[in-house]
């Protein structure tokens, strides 16, 4: 009896079996597959404890769907793959194509070592680099025209999970599942493909049809909360897009998926902008050095309740509502006059759904240093944002128990109502720092429109 034809499926940011083009390719071209995840010491070193705990749980969930056949290996990717290919007499290594700088460089190194990588599909509905201006075939620099072209380009329909997956049987030495614990005092969302599909089903039923309004209210369950599932590829964006109609709410949600793909495209075409200014002129601006105010921002002790509630949510849950992500980012850059990279690094440490492109360019958008059709320098007012999007203070009370007894009329500006509380005084005066921020902008002579006070 001849030996079965085997291929390796190397899982990375695609920890699922539904609508997985690389997995399907491996299955259809082999008698047996060797599923593997390689623990990357570089990425582990950059990941906070909450994200690692989530990844560990996601790997166990994937293993269950593969009949407990997932190889979890530790070591250099080239050495691990060469060893597995030799042991299983595998003819190829199937992957989902990576586009962010680190993953792309890693795959180039592996391929250069002579390992036959076969890339099928990617983490995106439309892979970075495909959406180009029809006039000159250059990448888009502004979101809105990108979105229109992205919709026109389109994407294929999702494919069901394979009915049968024949996997090679791993040895005990292949089962190096990490034992990363959820940090004490924190809670993170449930990991895995099953949890992703259940969350999507719940969101479609309860919040999708009102998403255009509910998405801005951090005190309610009005967003899909699929960021971590998308980050680890436990669900593919095509699965989400396939269920969307043409209503306003559905279109707003479709646009949020497109933002993720736009930022991936921007980073692909500008690979240094995960750490460098997309608009280089802003590197010349006067910034403060991080001090105790930066520590107050990180610990949710700035004296601005809407900001502090969001920062405490981040540290406790490894997640933050999108509206408050913009508010806390604006506060760091515009009120504390610190460089956006400091905040982006803190988010990288704590976010379970950390995505290098979305994080860096989300920060740059709010900081006013990134891609934007509007050349003005937006400044978010942390008081007015709280009053508008957490009118009754429910979100604030959930994360700041010190203010739980304040009525809605007082909770957004507690410094005006002296009480015996552990909550701190404001570390800065927003009105003063807003003007200071705009003065610093003038110094670098950036062309501007009238400044909004969002």
Which two structure tokens, joined as six digits, stand for 235?
Answer: 């669900």
Mean pLDDT of the chain: 94
pLDDT tens by residue, 129-147: 999 999 999 999 999 999 9
Q: Looking up tokens 């009915």, which residue turns up?
A: 163
199-60-232 Cα angle (round to 5): 55
The rounded percent of the chain whose pLDDT value lies above 70 is 97
How confident is the model at residue 418, as a pLDDT?
75
Cα dihedral angle (420, 422, 428, 432), rounded to 10 degrees? -30
Q: Give the pLDDT confidence of 272-283 residue by residue, as tens digits.
A: 999 999 999 999
C-alpha to C-alpha distance for 202 and 208, rounded to whole angstroms: 9
Which class would CATH give 280-443?
A: mainly alpha
At 189-244, the pLDDT tens digits run 999 999 999 999 999 999 999 999 999 999 999 999 999 999 999 999 999 999 99
Residues 223, 322: contact at Cβ < 8 Å?
A: yes
- Kindly provide the b/e burial profile for residues 37-58, where b requires at least 16 CB atoms within 10 angstroms of the residue's own CB: bbbbeeeeeebbbbbbbbbbbb
- According to CATH, the topology of domain 6-122 is Rossmann fold (3.40.50)
- How does 376-398 read in b/e, with b if 16+ C-beta sit within 10 Å? ebbbbbbbebbbebbeebebbbe
What are 239-271's pLDDT values in tens digits?
999 999 999 999 999 999 999 999 999 999 999
Region 336-342: mean pLDDT is 98
Give the domain ranges of the chain.
6-122, 124-158+194-269, 280-443
pLDDT per residue over 366-388, tens digit each? 999 998 755 557 899 999 999 99
Give residue-wise pLDDT tens across range 100-123. 999 999 999 999 999 999 999 999
With a cut of 50, say whether residue 454 has pLDDT above it.
no
pTM of this structure: 0.94
What is the Cα–Cα distance from 97 to 233, expressed in whole angstroms? Answer: 12
Q: Is residue 452's pLDDT more than 50?
A: no
For the stretch 72-108, pLDDT in tens is 999 999 999 999 999 999 999 999 999 999 999 999 9
Q: Is 1.25.40.80 the CATH classification of the domain at 124-158+194-269?
A: yes
392 in Cβ contact with 306 (< 8 Å):
no
Q: What is the pLDDT of residue 242?
A: 97
């Amino acid at each position: 009896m001849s030996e079965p034809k085997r291929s390796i499926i190397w899982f990375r940011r695609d920890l699922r079996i539904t609508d997985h083009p690389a997995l399907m390719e491996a299955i259809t071209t082999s008698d047996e597959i060797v599923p593997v995840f390689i623990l990357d010491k570089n990425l582990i070193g950059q990941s906070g404890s909450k994200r690692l705990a989530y990844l560990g749980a996601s790997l166990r969930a994937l293993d269950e769907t593969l009949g407990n056949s997932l190889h979890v290996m530790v070591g250099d990717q080239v050495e691990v793959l060469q060893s597995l290919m030799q042991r299983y007499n595998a003819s190829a290594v199937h992957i989902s194509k990576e586009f962010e700088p680190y993953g792309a460089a890693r795959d180039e190194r592996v391929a250069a070592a002579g390992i036959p990588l076969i890339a099928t599909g990617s983490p995106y509905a439309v892979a970075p680099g495909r959406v180009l201006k029809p006039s000159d075939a250059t990448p888009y620099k502004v979101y809105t025209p990108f979105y229109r072209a992205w919709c026109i380009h389109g994407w294929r329909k999702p494919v069901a999970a394979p009915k049968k997956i024949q996997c090679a049987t791993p040895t005990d030495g292949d089962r190096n599942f990490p034992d990363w614990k959820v940090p004490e005092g924190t809670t993170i969302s449930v990991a895995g493909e099953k949890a992703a599909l259940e969350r999507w089903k719940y969101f479609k039923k309860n919040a999708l049809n009102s998403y255009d309004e509910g998405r801005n209210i951090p005190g309610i369950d009005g967003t899909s909360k699929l960021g971590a599932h998308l980050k680890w590829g436990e669900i593919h964006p095509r699965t989400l897009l396939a269920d969307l109609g043409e209503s306003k709410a559905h279109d707003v949600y479709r646009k949020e998926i497109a933002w993720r793909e736009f930022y991936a495209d921007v980073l692909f075409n500008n690979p240094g902008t995960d750490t460098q200014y997309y608009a280089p002129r802003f590197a010349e601006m006067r910034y403060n050095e991080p001090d105790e105010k930066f520590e107050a921002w990180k610990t949710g002790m700035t004296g601005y309740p809407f900001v502090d509630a969001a920062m405490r949510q981040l540290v406790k849950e490894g997640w933050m509502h999108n509206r408050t992500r913009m508010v806390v980012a604006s506060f760091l850059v515009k009120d504390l006059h610190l460089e956006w990279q400091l905040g982006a690094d803190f988010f990288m440490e704590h976010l379970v759904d950390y995505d290098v492109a979305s994080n860096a360019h989300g920060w740059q958008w709010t900081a006013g240093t990134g891609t934007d059709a509007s050349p003005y320098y937006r400044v978010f007012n942390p008081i007015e944002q709280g009053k508008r999007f957490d009118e009754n203070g429910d979100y604030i009370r959930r994360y700041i128990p010190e203010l739980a007894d304040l009525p809605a009329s007082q909770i957004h500006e507690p410094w005006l109502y002296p009480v015996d509380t552990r909550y701190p005084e404001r570390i800065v005066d927003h009105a003063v720092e807003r003007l200071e921020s705009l003065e610093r902008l003038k110094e670098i002579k950036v062309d501007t429109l009238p400044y909004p006070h969002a």
